[in-house]
Structure 1
Amino acid sequence: MTSKNKYTYVGLSDSKSVQDVNALLTAYVPNSDPGIRVAHTPLGDKAPDELVRTNYHWSNKVGSSGAVELSYHFLESAPSVMPRFGIAGFSSFNDEQKEAARLSLQSWSDVANVTFNEVSSLSKANITFGFFDYSITDDYAFATLPKGQNTTYSWYSAESHTFIDNDIGVNGYGRQTFTHEIGHTLGLDHPAEYDASDAIRPTYISVGEYFEDSRAYTAMSYFSEKYTGQDYKGAFSSAPLLNDISAIQDLYGANTETRTGDTVYGFNSNTDRDFMTATDANSKLVFSVWDADGNDTFDFSGFTQNQRINLNEGAFSDVGGLKGNVSIARGVTIENATGGSGDDILVGNSADNVLKGGDGDDIIYGGLGGDDLWGGAGKDTFVYLNGKESLKGNPDWIHDFISGEDKIDLSDFNFGGKGDIKFVDSFSGRAGEVLLTYDKVTDITDMSISLGGDLASNDFLVKIIGQPVAEADFIV
């Protein structure tokens, strides 16, 4: 089938939709994302090593299951070691503070092969929690590393309002502080040699040693996510982040039992984790996902803002009006994503993805694998960057294409020169020929492209459900 209507030709430059996809594929990548100021050298996948550079960890607590089994205790009276830390004026955790600390402990055991058991006495505890009223160095909170396998202490200032009310809830600074200090008791360092007790207040510019020292990458950092390009608008992580997960798994191994089923993150979440659950359009999600198995979904359908969702491991997504607030841990595959009512950009990975744009004018790029794609309401664009992304042995399916409204963007296909894409009634063997075959009985259009070269025997194919596709529905 051919059409008298001409396709859209964009010339030698990339189309707007291809530019948007490429921008998301390199979003928050230093020296690739032009919107990021790079003040320090990026370390990339080596950045987690800086969090475990002193190599302190619990090595003598391995139980019969193979996991490191640690005990914790909420102090009920002042221990004799308080003067050693330069603090005085003891007080204990209340029930709400205890629950927040337990949730932070849980978030570490979710990602690492570590278990925590609450005990009633200091003598049996590996990790302790308590408040102080006075610190000789004006500490806000601090914790000890597991040196010599002795009891570790995490201490918090009772003079700070951070540890009351909503601040110990999800996204609160108090909850983030619990997670940070527990990280120390497990063996994680600050990303560089700085501390709140330093005579000169540490800043990202003055003491940061590498790019990824921000609260976008690690809960162990002192510095705002804005230094690395993200923006959480006052929200904080309640759990370990991208580099924390890699670092703690380096010390103790990964928890391979965490979320092994089909898990949904965001709206309709079945994670039983408040920081991974969206309850309404005003929810602020800040998390890095560790997921051991299953067919998993990012459901961001309840948000109205324009979102950029990237399913590649190690990538950051812009969700619910925040920037770079959801990331995917190394070694994790999230198969599916659903956008909201804004104009969203969805990028898949090499798995067989299910991508649903929802309402709005969305851009959808499945990448490698055989993907199931829905644009939803609005004028949607389905992008392909090369001929390997939908081969006839495992093709993509576009389930709701509407001719005259939606577009298929092939402008990044490169067969050697201007005008190489050509719509034909039958193949001649020339690379770049596009054949559209419509079956009225099944209401399916096959879009085949002759690739030539090393892909000649496995040509490009997309199965399109919907109205017959005309040349005018393409961007080339």
Structure 2
Amino acid sequence: MKVNPSVPMLPPTATQVENLPTLQTDPDTRTAADTYWSGVDNLSSRSSRWIDKDGNGKIDIEVDFSAGPDNYFRKLGLTGHSALSAEQKKELIDQMTEISLETNLVFHEKGTLEKPDGRINFGNFAPVPSNGKNLVQVNFPENPSTPHTPDSPDEPAEAYIRGDARNLKANGRNRGGHALAHALLHALGLPHPNPDDKSNKPANPTDSLGYSLLSTVPETATGHDFHGNYVTRAQLHDMGALTLRYGTNSESRNKLLEIDYDANTILQSDKPVTMTIASGDTNKETLLAHKDTHDQHINLNHGTFSSLGGFTNNVAIARGTHIENIETGTGTNTIIANTVTNSIVLGSGKNTVIFNNPWDSTPKNTDTLHNFKSGIDKVDISGFASTGYEGTFTDHAPYFDIQTIDNQSYVRYWSVYNSAHPSEPNFKVRADGIQMSDIITKK
């Protein structure tokens, strides 16, 4: 097993097309940034991490799925050690694959790598009263190698899962899968967002399973809702902490990627219901959500959440990652544009595309709304526009109109407009066939 393909992807699929030469829906990007980095800093407060000893740009981790009980197991007085089941191993490999696709971590099965940068041993322990109530027991080595001592031998991280029936039948949305992911993140050096892991009180406003898989607080506390499914994938702040420690996957740079969120497949299987898109700012990405029949809330800005598949705030975009293109589903959908050039393919349902700032779509970087249906779809510019009024030195300030040339229609907006000396508009978006009645200018 070697996990870190050259092309990043997210569940269920993400395919390389070619090489290239929330609960955070607040349009105030400063608020989004503050929320994001406060959570990531909390998870990155400890220095525990594996390092790239050989300087190859990757952190190669050896994984032993059938290791016997080691020092930490005996220190805790655990009993009934057993190797991971086939279901546990499969689910853990899926989890490591997704982390590897987003970061410079590469996971190798024991015996396939001569000199790993770190080692993680996995196993189960018996679910008996003397072994406590914790689902996982994990020890990150106290004296790992550092950049100054790359040749010092490392002790392995030991990760043990309580081996009752629920955990042995692990999959991408049950408690067993969650326990494995919890153990894996600890073995990569991440702490709980709440220092007191026995407390169910939030340590900060983003302490919930919606932001971190390692939280003890239900996701509903922060406005997320996964409908009773367990979190089994690194969440927004987890992925932020991992990329901060280990870097964004260097092999994914300058790629054109398609991320397919097939809601029907996910809902009819044991696939995870959450995902975090964290491939950095050097890729051009398309989020395919056209197979989804649920009402969608899609925020293309980084550091935010979107709601797909009937769940609430289950798809996250990490800070520094920009989604350029989106294909929406057949429900009633809201799409919030970002500052990069967007190609937004509107599904057959009712769609409202929100532009919170005039710089979200400009004459130089003009967004395009494909399949716009006048009388059904809407363009909302109420965040910055208002009805024009007579000014002292200008005809109207601000002012907007629709320009149609060769059946191509553009909504244009000027913060200051002078008909005698017209300038380039501040805002411009293409939506063929759009009428003035399709534009929302007041909240």
Task: From the superposition, tell whether residues 472 and 351 of structure 1 become closer, same or farther in structure 2 (CA, over 3 Å).
Answer: closer
1:147–1:43 distance in 2 versus 1, CA, 3 Å: farther
- The alignment's TM-score, normalised by the length of structure 2, stands at 0.77
Tell me if structure 2 keeps the 8 A contact 1:28–1:316: no
The letter of the residue matching 2:122 is F
3-state SS of paired residue (1:57): coil
Could you list the per-position Cα deviations for residues 281-314 of structure 1 after superposition, in whole angstroms to 9, with x for gaps in the alignment? Answer: 6576301112244321222222222110001111
Note closer, same or farther for the CA distance 1:421–1:245 as it changes in structure 2 (3 Å cut).
Answer: farther
Aligned partner letter, 2:161: Y
Residues 1:94 and 1:397: Cα distance change in structure 2 (over 3 Å): closer
Residue 181 (structure 1) shift:
0.9
- Taking structure 1 as reference, are residues 137 and 394 closer, same or farther at Cα in structure 2, changes over 3 Å only? closer
Match of 2:228 among 225, 234, 251: 234
Deviations 1:47-82 (Å, cap 9, x if unpaired)? Answer: 2222232322224x5224132222121235444653
2:368 counterpart of 1:391? no
Select which of 265, 274, 296 maps to 1:279: 265
Deviation, 1:353, is 0.7
Q: How far apart in 1 are the matches of 2:376 and 2:398?
A: 24
8 Å Cα contact 1:57/1:146 also seen in 2: no
- Change in Cα spacing, 1:320 to 1:56, as seen in structure 2 (3 Å) is same
Of residues 323, 337, 344, the one that matches 2:312 is: 323
**Is 2:432 the partner of 1:465?**
yes
Give structure 2 stretches of 5+ with no counterpart: 1-21, 145-154
Alignment deviations for residues 112-140 of structure 1 (CA, whole Å, 9 cap, x no partner): 3222222159x997210111114433332
**Matched pairs, number:** 396
Partner of 2:293: 304
Residue of structure 1 aligned with 2:139, choices 141, 144, 161: 144
Q: 1:258 to 1:161 in 2, by over 3 A?
A: farther
Amino acid at match of 1:25: T
Secondary structure at 1:96 match in 2: helix
Matched, 1:431 2:397: yes
Distance across 2 between alignment mates of 1:191 and 1:23: 17
Within 5 Å, which residues of 2 pair with 1:75-474?
Answer: 75=66, 77-79=68-70, 82-120=73-111, 126-133=119-126, 134=128, 135-149=130-144, 150-158=155-163, 160-165=164-169, 168-195=170-197, 202-205=198-201, 208-258=202-252, 261-267=255-261, 279=265, 282=268, 285-292=273-280, 293-365=282-354, 367=355, 385=356, 387-414=358-385, 420=389, 429-439=395-405, 442-452=406-416, 457-459=423-425, 460-466=427-433, 471-474=436-439
CA gap of 1:256–1:163, structure 2 versus 1, over 3 A, is same
| Corresponding residue SS for 2:323 | coil
1:156 Cα deviation (Å)? 1.3
Change (3 A) 1:346 1:148: same
Contact 1:421 1:434 in 2 (8 A): no
Partner SS state of residue 42, structure 2:
helix
Report the Cα distance in structure 2 between the residues aligned to 1:55 and 1:23, rounded to whole angstroms.
28
Per the alignment, residue 425 of structure 1 pairs with none
Structure 1's unaligned 5+ residue stretches are 1-21, 33-41, 196-201, 269-276, 368-384, 423-427
**Secondary structure of 2:256's match?**
coil
Q: Alignment RMSD, CA only? A: 3.6
Q: Deviations over 1:390-418 (max 9, x none)?
A: 43344444444455555554555546xx6
Question: Higher Cα Rg: structure 1 or 2?
Answer: 1
Retained in 2: the 8 A contact 1:214–1:224?
Answer: yes
Alpha-carbon distance, 1:216 to partner? 1.1
- Contact 2:341–2:361 (Cα < 8 Å) also in 1: no
Letter in 1 for 2:362: L
Pairwise CA distance, 1:340? 1.3
| 1:133-179 deviation line (CA, Å, top 9, x unaligned) | 14433332111013112222111122x222233xx222222222212
What amino acid is aligned across from residue 103 of structure 2 in structure 1? A
Provide the C-alpha distance between the structure 1 equivalents of 2:195 and 2:411, rounded to a whole number of angstroms: 57
Residue 171 of structure 1 contacts residue 286 of structure 1 at CA under 8 Å; is this kept in 2?
A: no
Q: Give the match for residue 72 of structure 1.
A: 63
Distance 1:136 1:420 in 2: 73
CA, structure 1 residues 72+350, in 2 after alignment: closer, same or farther (shift >3 Å)? same
- CA distance, structure 1, for counterparts of residue 342 and residue 259 of structure 2: 15
